[in-house]
Amino acid sequence: MNPLVAIVGPTATGKSSLALELCQTSPGEIISADSRQVYRCMDIGTAKPTKGEQALVPHHLIDVVAPDQDFSLALYQSKALEAIEAIRKKGKTAFLVGGSGLYVWALLEGWRIPAVPPDPALRQKLEDRARVEGGEKLYNELKETDPAAAERIDPRNVRRVIRALEVCLQGTPFSQLQVKDPFVDSVIIGLTTSRADLYRRIDTRVDSMIERGLVAEVESLVKMGYGFDLPSMSGLGYKQIGLYLQSKMDLPTAIQQIKFDTHSFARHQYNWFRLKDKRIHWFEAGEQLSQSVHRFIERFVVN
């Protein structure tokens, strides 16, 4: 049985386009490993595959929930495993594609995620503190309480920081919940590039998102009743354009802030996907990439 082929790395390195090309030579389907693409109506800001691309190659774990619905790591893991099984039954290769490290490793490493029930009162208290004191304060507390968990969480992901603290304060270190027992065999491809090229790619993508109507997309979400306080609306692009729409920032400043924040996010992704991780086979993003990767994976994948 063909292994799962994972394509990982920082944002804007061409993971999605590579997967589309590989699916032409090694018949397969794509499973998104992007924590924002699960939300419906959030297309431009999440760099979601176009309708044409989705028609060309079947995609999974995209448009799963509404922007105001919760979507947990455990649910992602369960749905991704279902997708892998369905793809394999068709005799195809499953390609896991995305840069959300938590989703990727929960699936590839087979994290057994015990159910620690939510504590609504405690969570509300932490959310109130985050609004008053700032998310950085809570993140620093997490670093003291559970440094292993803090190392794997983006400090800007306040929702994730709050959940980790919520679990820790109930008596269980968040990092100890992730007991590993791989579900599937996998081959991991990593895409990387120089820092300057990465930033250039990110800035070009952000400019393209603005040209394609990111501002209008955020306005549409607001008209549908989705508030800026939702976790889904705190993502890159949506948060900054939200500040512009609330007259808290002018548009050029908001666009520049998206670029800066995405640069920071890309740097953080290397904490999840380390260049020294021997499980990951790294390739330089750029021309001839698909041919090089195809030659590499054909030793593992039987068409």
User: What's the pLDDT tens digit per position in 195-219?
Assistant: 999 999 999 999 999 999 999 999 9
What pLDDT sits at residue 179? 61
**Domain identity same for 237 and 214:** yes
275 assigned to some structural domain = yes
Same domain, 220 and 257: yes
Question: Which residue, 177, 203, 225, sits at the end of a domain?
Answer: 177
CATH of the domain at 161: 1.10.20.140
pLDDT value at 181 more than 80 = no
Each residue of 22-59: pLDDT tens digit?
998 889 999 999 999 999 999 999 999 999 999 999 99
In whole angstroms, give the CA distance from residue 2 to residue 187. Answer: 10
Do the domain assignments include residue 303?
A: no
Question: Which string of DSSP letters, residue by residue, matches 29-83?
Answer: EEEE--SSTTBTT--TTTTPPPHHHHHHS-EESSS-B-TTS---HHHHHHHHHHH
- The reply to whether 90 and 239 lie within a common domain is yes
Q: Is 198 a member of any domain? A: yes
Same domain (yes/no): 160, 142: yes
pLDDT tens digit sequence for 203-261: 999 999 999 999 999 999 999 999 999 999 999 999 999 999 999 999 999 999 999 99
pLDDT for position 269: 95
Do residue 32 and residue 159 come from a single domain? Answer: no
How much is the average pLDDT of 289-293? 92
Supply the range of the domain harboring residue 81. Answer: 4-113+180-297
Residues 31 and 173 in one domain: no
pLDDT value of residue 303: 66
Which residues of 244-287 form beta strands (DSSP E)? Answer: 280-284
Same domain, 66 and 206: yes
Q: How much is the average pLDDT of 143-164? A: 87
> Residue 215: what pLDDT?
98
